[in-house]
Chain A
Amino acid sequence: MVQCKRFAVGVMLLMTCLLAVADSSIVVRDAWVREAPPGAAVLAAYFTLENTGTKQDKLVAVRCPDFDKIEIHATEIRSGVAHMIALDALPIPPQAVVKLAPGGYHLMLHHPRRALAAGMSIKLELRFDSGARVTVVAPVRRAQSGAAHHH
């Protein structure tokens, strides 16, 4: 009987693991936050998203207790004019890699609730259309020039 119970728990645990794996066909890499001048009202965060699954997914929201609000943004240059576009969702096609990098897609982090300087880090919870949630640790870094070209 005890063994049976153990077996059942084991099966449940295994299933939970499988579900988690099935859920997280999104891999998040190289997350970082651009250190901003003291008192800056907004910061940007960047990372690489990889969809290892066979279905399109979308990044729909990001949560972090260190900011009042987080939005998914794109910088687009149209006829020489830089536009900041707020996106409802960022699609990640199956088997594709989507990079958030300076001058392109980025998270706009509104009103930091604590002073963030290089060497510190924040935890971002990324929420996807599929229901998957991925938490990543993003170190705060001082951006070096050419950061746009390194990734």
Chain B
Amino acid sequence: MTRKTLISVTLVAALGVILVLGYLAGRTFRDPARAVTVAGMTVLEPAAPLPEFRLHDQNNQVFDRARLQGKWSYVFFGYTHCPDICPTTLVILRDVQKIAGGKEQGIQYIFVSVDPDRDKATTLKNYLPYFHPEFIGATGGQGELIRLTRALGAYYEAGEARGGSYEVHHSAAIFLIDPEARLRALFAGPHDAARLAQGLQRLKGG
């Protein structure tokens, strides 16, 4: 009797381990298996819902998950002390805006600064209109930035301070969020305005 119980318990435990491992394996491998990359755009199938997060925009208004709802959003991470790749990408997004449209077409362009110590709301307010008056700048506390970047599979890290300054390493990708605030696709770069615009067109059409 005791032996039988022991066997039962062992079997149940083994089954439990198998189930947990299976679940973990499924969770780990599900997303990559369903991500399809075509013409530089990786489409997530299904789209990945974003968690709640709370940043502020260049006008010191709350910029949270709700601000992503009801529109398509192109999102890029960077910082204003970045003289090369960030302005290069923002000029490309300006061209995407010319091709794909903006607010009136239900499309928004968001530059998230991952350097909140130097990029204040006013910094972003001065910086972004140069590229396009509709561009949204957002930033916030490290915890909230990490929450958002993790959810998108993005990355950033401040480099070592050198001569009173520092660089911030950040994902080069542009992320496309759908009107239900889900990560729908990402463009790894090097970026091309026409390709970025066509990618959204394809998703809207499909």
Contact = CB atoms under 8 A, between A and B. Distances in A.
Interface of A: 34, 36-44, 69, 73, 75, 77, 80-84, 86, 102-103, 106, 108-110, 143-148
B155 A44 contact: no
Contacts of A34: 83-84, 87
B87 A143 contact: yes
Nearest to B131: A37
B180 interface: no
Given A38-B126, A40-B127, A82-B170, A69 B163 contact: yes
Given A102-B88, A147-B91, A148-B88, A40 B172 contact: no
Contacts of A38: 126, 130
B127 A82 contact: no
Contacts, number: 92
Interface of B: 80-85, 87-88, 91-92, 94-95, 118, 123, 126-131, 155, 159, 162-163, 165, 167-173, 188-190, 193
Given A103-B190, A145-B92, A145-B193, A81 B83 contact: no
Given A37-B128, A81-B155, A86-B162, 15 more contacts: A34-B84, A39-B123, A41-B81, A41-B118, A44-B83, A75-B84, A81-B171, A84-B169, A102-B84, A102-B85, A102-B88, A108-B84, A143-B88, A144-B91, A146-B193
Contact of B91 (A75, A84, A108, A145): A145
Contacts of A83: 159, 167, 169
